[in-house]
Amino acid sequence: MERLLKQTEGTGVDVYTHSEMLPSNYYPAFKKYSHLVGNYGNAWWKQNIEFPTFNGPILFTTNCIVPPKSDEVRKRIYTTGASGYPGCTHIESDKNGNKDFSVIIEHAKKCSPPKEIEKGSIIGGFAHNQVIQLADKIVEAVKSGSIRKFVVMGGCDGRHKSRQYYTDFAQNLPQDTVILTAGCAKYRYNKLNLGDIGGIPRVLDAGQCNDSYSLAIIALKLKEVFELNDINELPIAYNIAWYEQKAVIVLLALLSLGVKNIHLGPTLPAFLSPNVVNVLVENFGISGITNVDDDIAILLGA
């Protein structure tokens, strides 16, 4: 990302992020690049809706490519690293590991500006370092009862209508709860007006799928601050949305920490055999989702 920002600096080309790259707008080191102007669009699966109106070239650095429906969009798609797609230009590293994005820059200069599809701002950048700085404030809010529970809602998003569950779940959570999130699942609720609790936003976004690590660090730090022996004694509930392997790895990481009573949806992964499911249920209390009201009651201990 920084290589692209450096090469586009002073060229008159603005840079937008999309989907999982949203968190880069919060990186302090990137604030010096005034041409990083914001995020365009929503979760990865809306590419075929949003890319036609974006108008400019698109650089993929990860695997979440939706097959473009038109040649016009395909010609504007570039890939690099592990990503790639037939008919799209791939940018390789040279022998020194450097990448030349000049072909994208020149392409961008010939394109029309993006069409506006929405406007506003989203508060983010709550990786573990930032949240730990708020530890005293968070602990006080928990002790005073202002925050009853944190709900981890990390994971993946997808186009299936069943995923509306996560929007409804977030909207129906009581006002004394805070959502901890990472990954593209956040697009189901990060633009809702959920407010704050004493200045603490009710959605704390740690960043990309990989930043789910931060959620584990936050939980372990809170365990230390509250002087607890078991991570399951924390006022934290887990409602994870899965779509592919990254979210399953997040789940395995939570299990390795001994976290129990995780809800996983919209369905359990099909590759889990009955025997494995039984082990997860018996040893960790893992379960699928049912409906919003019942799941909130279970996860909040109501």
Residue 7 belongs to some domain of the structure: yes
- Domain boundary among the residues 77, 109, 141 is at 109
pLDDT of residue 157: 92
Structure tokens at 41: 């669009």
Q: Which residues contact 7 (CB under 8 A, 6 or more apart)?
A: 100, 101, 102, 105
Whether residue 192 sits in one domain with residue 294: yes
Show the domain range for 54.
2-109
Measured CA distances, 151 to 137, 165, 168, 174, 181 (Å)? 18, 15, 14, 11, 8
Q: Is the residue at 121 inside a domain? A: no
pLDDT recorded at residue 302 = 53
Q: CA torsion angle for 276, 282, 287, 293 (degrees, to 10)?
A: 170
Phi, psi of 120, deg, nearest 5? 145, -170
Residue 161 domain-assigned (yes or no): yes
Model confidence over 146-204: pLDDT tens digits?
999 999 998 889 999 999 999 999 999 999 999 999 989 999 999 999 999 999 999 99
Is there a domain that residue 120 lies in? Answer: no
Q: Which two tokens stand for residue 98?
A: 């450097």
Q: Tell me, what CATH number does 97's domain have?
A: 3.40.50.2030
CB 188 within 8 A of CB 157: yes
Cα–Cα nearest to 212, from 260, 153, 135, 284: 153
Within the chain, which residues score under 70 in pLDDT? 302
pLDDT at residue 140 in the model:
92
Residues 149 and 258 in one domain: yes
CA-based torsion, 121, 16, 32, 206: positive or negative? positive
| pTM confidence score | 0.91
For 11-30, the pLDDT digits (tens) are 999 999 999 899 999 999 99
Do 132 and 242 share a structural domain?
A: yes
